[in-house]
A and B are shown apart, each in its own frame.
Chain A
Amino acid sequence: MSPLTAAAATAQTRRLGALGAVGLLVQRNYVVYRSAWWIFLSGFLEPVFYLFSIGVGVGQLVQGFEVDGRTIGYAAFVAPGMLAAAAMNGSLLDSTFNFFFKLKYAKTFEQMLATPLTTRDIARGELAWSLLRGGTYSLAFLLIMVAMGLVASWWAVLVLPAALLIGVAFGAVGMALTTYMRSWQDFEYVTLATLPLFLFSATFFPLEAFPTWLGWVVEATPLYRGVVLVRELTTGAVTADSVVSVVYLVVLSVAGMLVVSRRLDRLLLG
């Protein structure tokens, strides 16, 4: 018996708790990806490439920026931005493209609903999987930052939870939006939203580059909150204001998840 059928068999004999259901879904995705581990692994390379290219290559042209009254090197400025952006992108990949495919083409969720799993289990399970994946990448990236001497504070131990929070927030919102999508063409809108977030969220240059009013707009965007949060942690510039970012991302996650389970009920059970 394969691990999946074995797990399904145990699931049938007893009622699944929420945690058990999440575990089952994560296990399912693990089985799917086991044969394509190189795809899983190579995903972590992309932000590292960006770090080396922008941080180290372009970094030789830039003086460095002031964070919390101290000037830091350009690589140390860019790296937390790359980490936060990678947490966003990784989470969105699973919650938009892959989620859409399972919802619309593979009909994976309809099959799951034929088992004791509920739509809430599916939403939580898929999100948990994308977090596991995003968390793995974030941890690897953080270790590279430490090895390159780009981490200046012990607060950095909180980077992993912060990256997971960014992942939850974007994953939940991404999934919620995906339930409204009609075709693959609609994914152009995802790129249209994430690319400006990636480029303008104080990832590559500080907020001073913008006129004041535009700076306020940027401060209100979700990736910016993630980038400053991670940067505050790696540089040790943690203040009471850091809580604003945390609360912002938590609210976004909860709102996203509420929409997802309501929409899945309508799409799959209606």
Chain B
Amino acid sequence: MAATRSLAPRMTDYWWTVYKRTWKGSVVSSFVTPLLYVLAMGVLLGGFIQGDPDRLEGASTYLAFVVPGMLAAQSMQLVFGELTYPVMSGVKWHRTYFAMVATPLSVRDVVQSQVGFVVFRVALSSAVFCLVVAPFGVFATWWGAVVAWLVQLLVALAFATPVFALSSYLKDESGFSLVFRLGMIPMFLFSGAFFPVDNLGPTLAALARLTPLWHAVDLTRMLTVDRLDPLLALLHVGYLAALTALGYVLVLRFLGRRLAS
């Protein structure tokens, strides 16, 4: 079966229908929320912070510092939202995955199509985000902004496959509260989105640098403030790609086991 072509594109109409029916509800979480954070933290709180590129990882204002952080964090949060409860719904409540694999679709196709849908969602909302914040003068170069947007697709993948794997592994949705409170929120708050991780002190800063969000934020910020360190950027890309691959292997195994039962 492995040699056959992927049937994932055959699911396009399904996900398009899902999107058409749910996009209104997602407007607040994926567009309004990050913009309010940018306004509150970047513009208003930023007014009280001295813009020093040496202390702000190359950003000349706090707003320019926090925008790439919010962009990457938004990509992460959207993935968590799309691949936790909805996945539990597919295996437990609505059991849509069982219906899908009862057709010629394989587990691999189901996974690829849903991950594709999430990447689409991230692509769309980060594009809107970039367009809205661009007039604030937060992007050093136009191409940096475009590449930073492309990076979000990789960020989406790097979070999507591991989170998908975890959600198909968990038997019960109550575990999600812990995933959010002990995983996503601490990453959001401590992985360099709001302040340079060096402010945490050497030990905690090293710990923060191990998280996928730090790699995502640092890579995005390098591009938006135009201070690219090619070697470090390569490391970030490698880390995120490796995470994507690892998550992919795991989700196929876990979801496959779940759907075979």
Which B-chain residue is minimally distant from A42 (CB atoms)?
Answer: B181
B28 touching A192 by the CB < 8 A rule?
A: yes
By the criterion CB–CB under 8 Å, are B55 and A61 in contact? yes
Do the beta carbons of B185 and A46 come within 8 Å of each other? yes
The interface residues of chain B lying within 8 Å CB-to-CB of A191 are 28-29, 33
Q: For the complex, would chain A's binding face be called helix, strand, loop or mixed by DSSP majority?
A: helix
Q: Are B48 and A62 in contact (CB under 8 A)?
A: yes
Q: Is B194 an interface residue (CB 8 A)?
A: yes
Q: Is A5 an interface residue (CB 8 A)?
A: no
Q: How far is the CA of A21 from the CA of B186 in the complex (A)?
A: 39
In Å, the complex CA distance between A50 and B182 comes to 13
Cα A62 to Cα B189 with chains together (Å): 17
Q: How many angstroms from the CA of A57 to the CA of B55 in the assembled complex?
A: 12
Chain A residues with a Cβ closer than 8 Å to the other chain, count: 32
Interface footprint category on B: 20 to 34
Chain B, residue nearest A63 (CB): B48
> Please, which residues of chain A bring their CB within 8 A of the CB of B195?
53, 57-58, 60-61
Q: Determine whether A196 belongs to the interface, using a CB cutoff of 8 Å to chain B.
A: yes
List residues 19-37 of chain B with CB under 8 A from any CB of chain A.
24-25, 27-29, 32-33, 36-37
B203 near A: Cβ within 8 Å? no
- Complex alpha-carbon distance, A209 and B49, angstroms: 12
Q: Does A195 lie within 8 Å of B49, measured CB to CB?
A: no
Which listed residue, A49, A54, A62, touches B186 by the CB 8 Å rule?
A49
Q: How many angstroms from the CA of A38 to the CA of B33 in the assembled complex?
A: 28
Residues in chain B near residue A248, CB distance under 8 A? none
Q: Name the one of B27, B33, B48, B182 contacting A195, with C-beta atoms under 8 angstroms.
A: B33
- Are B44 and A42 within 8 A (Cβ)? no
Q: Are B48 and A205 in contact (CB under 8 A)?
A: yes
Q: Does B47 contact A (CB under 8 A)?
A: yes
Report which of B25, B32, B45, B186 forms a contact with A204, defined as CB distance below 8 A.
Answer: B45
Residue A155 interfacial (CB < 8 Å): no
Q: Contact flags (1/0) for B1-42 with A, using CB distance below 8 Å?
A: 000000000000000000000001101110011001101110
- Residues on the A chain within 8 Å of B189, using CB: 49-50, 52-54, 57
Please report which residues of chain A, range 197-220, place their CB below 8 angstroms from some CB of chain B when the two chains form the complex. 199-200, 204-205, 209-210
Give the distance in Å from the alpha carbon of A52 to the alpha carbon of B189 in the complex: 9
B177 interface residue (CB < 8 Å to A):
yes
B246 at the interface (CB under 8 A from A): no
Please tell me if the beta carbons of B32 and A57 are within 8 angstroms of each other in the complex: no
Which chain B residues numbered 151 to 204 have a C-beta less than 8 Å away from chain A? 174, 177-178, 181-182, 185-186, 189-190, 194-195, 199-200
Min Cβ gap B207→A in Å is 13
CB proximity of B92 to chain A, nearest CB, Å: 16
A60: B residues at CB distance < 8 A? 195, 199
Please report which residues of chain B, range 100-119, place their CB below 8 angstroms from some CB of chain A when the two chains form the complex.
Answer: none
Q: Is A161 an interface residue (CB 8 A)?
A: no
Query: Roughly how many angstroms separate A46 CA and B56 CA in the complex, as a whole number?
Result: 26
Can you list 23 pairs linking A and B with CB atoms under 8 Å apart? A39-B177, A39-B178, A42-B182, A43-B181, A45-B182, A49-B185, A49-B189, A52-B190, A53-B195, A54-B194, A56-B199, A57-B200, A58-B194, A61-B62, A65-B48, A185-B25, A188-B25, A188-B29, A191-B29, A192-B32, A195-B32, A196-B36, A205-B40
Interface residues of A (CB under 8 A from B): 36, 38-39, 42-43, 45-46, 49-50, 52-54, 56-58, 60-63, 65, 185, 188, 191-192, 195-196, 199-200, 204-205, 209-210
Interface residues of B (CB under 8 A from A): 24-25, 27-29, 32-33, 36-37, 39-41, 44-45, 47-50, 55-56, 62, 174, 177-178, 181-182, 185-186, 189-190, 194-195, 199-200
